[in-house]
Amino acid sequence: MQAPTPEQVEAMMIKKMGSLPQSLNSAKAIDPRFLVEQAMSSKFSVQDENNPLDPKTSMMIALSASITLGSQECIMEQTRMLKKMGITKEELAYLVKIVKHAQGSAVMGNAKTAFDTFES
């Protein structure tokens, strides 16, 4: 299978999201192949036909990662896509609660070294 051209990827993203995310627009100015790489990465993960998760669940996981990583542009785009997929306010609230809990748990796990060092 031949990879799509940057122009094909851009057209697909605009059709799907309404516009090309600004980060990819900036990346395209440096090297248009970034668009193809981004599309192939998505096809290999979220959009893979062998993905055992439904598209909404996959996008909710992606949004959770974006919230954790602080990627504002991804948060905005993924939330827009999830709204089209029918996410409810309750589902979004629980997604954030789960991310908040995981982040807090990570802090406690990271603090273990400090606790253990202090006690030794």
Question: How far is residue 37 from each of residues 2, 33, 40, 47, 48, measured CA to CA in Å?
Answer: 13, 6, 5, 14, 15
Work out the widest C-alpha separation in the chain, in whole angstroms: 60
28 lies in the same domain as 69: no
Q: What is the mean pLDDT of residues 44-52?
A: 85
Count the domains in the chain: 2
> Residue 119 is part of a domain; what is its CATH number?
1.20.1290.10
Separation CA 37–CA 42 (nearest Å): 9
73 lies in the same domain as 98: yes
> Does some domain include residue 12?
yes
> Does some domain include residue 49?
no
User: The tokens 């807090």 sit on which residue?
Assistant: 104
Instruction: Please name the residues in contact with 27: beta carbons below 8 A apart, sequence gap of 6 or more.
Output: 34, 35, 38
Domain that holds residue 36: 1-44
24 lies in the same domain as 73: no
User: pTM of the entire structure?
Assistant: 0.78
> Does some domain include residue 100?
yes
38 lies in the same domain as 60: no
63 lies in the same domain as 117: yes
69-114 pLDDT, tens digit each:
999 999 999 999 999 999 999 999 999 999 999 999 999 999 999 9
Separation CA 47–CA 54 (nearest Å): 10
